[in-house]
Amino acid sequence: MTARHVVVVGVSHRTARLEVRERVSLGEDAARELLRSRVDGGCVAEGFAVSTCNRTENYVACADPIAAELAVIDALAAMAGLPATVLSGHCYVWRDGGAVRHLFTVASGLDSMIFGEAQILGQLRRAGEHAASAGVIGRVTDRLLRDALSAGRRVRSRTAIARASVSVSSAAVELARGVLGELAGRRVLVVGAGKSGELTAQALSAHGVEVVVLSRCPEKAALLSGRAAGLESLADELAGADVVLTATSAPHPIITRDALAAALAARGGRPLLVIDLAVPRDVEASARSLAGLTLLDLDDVQARAEANLRARYADGARAEHLVASEAGRFERWRASLGAIETVSALRRRADSIVESLLADNDPRWQGLTDADRERVSSLARAVASRLLDEPTRRLKAADAMSLATARELFGLSSAVS
């Protein structure tokens, strides 16, 4: 008997605050322990768990979805040190088609905090690897995960939900390309070695630029770039840069209008792009009027990121349609498992009836030869098989509700679940 039902029990940024998500977060060992305990307990046949900063979800295949749901919630609550009744208030539960549709939506980035992000694909892939190494993944959940990953890749390749950058650092790079065109070979000056500077330097590295990082701590700046120096080199570096991205935590402007005017005068007419990501701003606002200078601030960058996010959402309906189509494909496969079991149980029942009737009537056939007995036996089995041919074809194409009805009509409910 195949555990065909699929259940997901999850907690995410949509249902719980960070302090709750932290308590149910599962490392590799914790996920293995949780799933192994549920499998050993008999409530779950197989499964996998995915745990990120924004979600912890347990996907299981089972024969009894209600028992599996309660078992997973109890295990999560025990790990989190919370009463199950409290944790369940933060959980969402989807079963069968709903669970499949949810996973495919997650894999496509449509349920992520950053709409359309692709990081979840790698996280799901690792979840499958961990479950496989723990020996808790099986036929249904392995197929479920593989199809979800395929759906996620297909949605991203056929829609625009992941093509526009929505992070501040990536949007800053897009603005730079919009102003200057191709960035390869350009010299980019990053002022500040904090998180914003680090992310921006990483975003720029893919474009073949020469990055110079200036910071009050040159040793830290050197970790982000091959060239690093202290802020005392600012005036010289301004004159040689094509793009300046500044993101320090200074309480007042560190790049003055006069410093930029001097840098522009030394550039022989070459324009300069400055993108100020700092709050408070690193660049004096009055510098915006300087000829040859394009000065953009965080508002400009965020506007670009928000426009990109709107572009992603604009293709959301098409992405959801693809998700529904891919989830429907898996559901047809899952339903076929029930059809195979139902057909097998029906034919076993027919064979049992034939054998019983032949045995009951055997004493009345004393005058039959062995050959006659074999012909009667073959005829009885052929009649039963012929009668089941059409029901078999229809059952193989039936949905879950029709299969349940057929099991009830033929008295197979106890044989298949």
In tens, the pLDDT along 122-146 reads: 999 999 999 999 999 999 999 999 9
Determine the 3-state secondary structure of 211 from DSSP.
Answer: strand
The pTM of the full predicted model, rounded to 2 decimals, is 0.67
CA distance 127 to 148: 12
CATH 3.30.460.30 residue spans of the chain: 5-163
Average pLDDT along the chain: 87
* HSE-CB for 111 with a 13 A CA cutoff: 22
Name residue, tokens 């149980």.
345
157 and 72 Cβ atoms separated by less than 8 Å: no
Residue burial 18-48, b: 16+ Cβ < 10 Å; e: rest: eebbebbbbebebbbebbbbbbeeebbbbbb
pLDDT for residue 223: 58
Instruction: Give the confidence band of 2 by pLDDT, cuts at 50, 70, 90.
Output: low
pLDDT for residue 224: 59
Nearest to 399 by CA among 349, 352, 333: 333
Q: DSSP states of 290-327 as a string?
A: STTEEEEEHHHHHHHHHHHHHHHHHTHHHHHHHHHHHH
In tens, the pLDDT along 99-110 reads: 999 999 999 999
Nearest to 35 by CA among 27, 26, 25, 46: 46
CATH number of the domain at 168-310, please? 3.40.50.720
pLDDT for residue 286: 95
CA distance 279 to 297: 9
In tens, the pLDDT along 303-326 reads: 888 888 888 888 899 999 999 999
CATH 3.40.50.720 residue spans of the chain: 168-310
Q: Is 62 a known active-site residue? A: no
CA distance 122 to 114: 15
In tens, the pLDDT along 13-61 reads: 999 998 899 999 998 899 999 999 999 988 999 999 999 888 999 999 9
Share of the chain above pLDDT 70, in %: 94
Encoded amino acid at 19, one letter: E
CATH architecture of 5-163: 2-Layer Sandwich (3.30)
